[in-house]
Structure 1
């Protein structure tokens, strides 16, 4: 219907304008479809997905103790391959697209890759440490091609607390400066306050800093092992901030969404990385194998086989495998463990 209206120089229908106003506070009433909306043709590929996340690089200008990536090499696709990947995702039907890292804003190809995804009609979220947000060239990209959300991780309320976790001398100053610049530019920023043993005493100060900027925030305190099963990250965990409140009800990862690493390897998610499929070399048809790969990773194995509490489990299977590989205490991920 929208495609027909665009071809006929029609206006945005009332039902769509009302939905847009409620969901995004955008006024589309009486506006021509052509120019107001990007109507993408249906996918003709053998596989379609609506959501994807992408590590544009693993390299980072911070060295956070809690990082779920054990190594962070600066390597990945060249720019033509990045743009080809985005075109492929567009043709597969991807609408929601998350760009992460490492630190994505330090990638030399971030701006053209981001613009290509935005021009393809994707709803974009960028996960960043915020250290480059104040740079004029970055602000210009986000002003010209507005993202759905920029999620900024906050690691401390002072240079000392931020350094203790990130091991980067400029971490606090660069992140806070980036948040101020993003707030001034009225970009859609949400802050994730990362709670660890290094900054727990500054939690109220971090909350106050974000509130003073008028930004939304959430808090994250469940530190996981690296996705390769190294448990050294758990040393930064603060007892009492393990979030085990929500019962795991299943996950569509691998069926409606997937993750792509810097080399174009697709997996069910950021944690479940078994049997990757390279989209660059195999094309989207390779993802026909992904649902079965995802289902295999959701099976209960090891110490979880035959668990009588599986219906009330609070962690997904790929994450549980990572905890088990790291020989983490049960209290970090399983209700059999002692409460913290």
Structure 2
């Protein structure tokens, strides 16, 4: 007789390779890494790199915008490297924590039941130890910054801690995810200036709207399973108005970033970067199909490119303004 245990059912659905359903096909973590390492790499989402990119890019935007405001010739390269290491470590830690909290819910959703915990590739206690190890790496990175940046960085743990539980109690948990994933928009600025100013706060607000928009697209993959499992998401909440809602989120993101650039003294290249970023987001909204999960995943992943375009515009602007002002 078939078992009613969702965890047992999820284990039957995992491919022999152990590969997670929405991982990048042919990623080195699934092909080349030692077999004993693979469950840990999957738990940290190493084979789904868009997540750490989306955590990293607001840090880089903020660092580049701060460089413009400080009349520096380009963002601090040491800070960019620290943010890269920290983003990979803390995205892995956040994902591990999320998977520990959601292991029972993940077993009920087709896309997530192949993850290491619900599929039985790794145990909960082992995952908790791995979580602590990743957080220690993140702490080592954070301690390289000034005291104010350390305090601001530590405060990010609050939205990270409560996010996994929001899908059980609120209709749009993506708003809490936005608070967490947008935090880097504060970090680049405070790392350079040792304080938070209006441009960083405006950038943070715009980044929250961006996160809600792209994670709503991501949630399109799970609409049917979420309805069955009773899991809340913005994709379910917006329903037939999904495309309009994503467009509003993306439009708000760009509009909220306008005062950030203006107050920081951005030049033509920074504004061009924002315009191209906005055009990329508009294209995503127009191409979104509410029941096309695979297409939604492709659009979601394209936010890495959108964010890089914006960063390159801001970074080039700070370099150019620094050179002509020298």
TM-score, L = length of structure 1 = 0.26
Greater strand proportion: 1
Structure with more contact order per residue of length (Cα contacts < 8 Å, sep ≥ 6)? 2
TM-score, L = length of structure 2 = 0.27
Greater helix proportion: 2
Q: Which has the larger radius of gyration?
A: 1
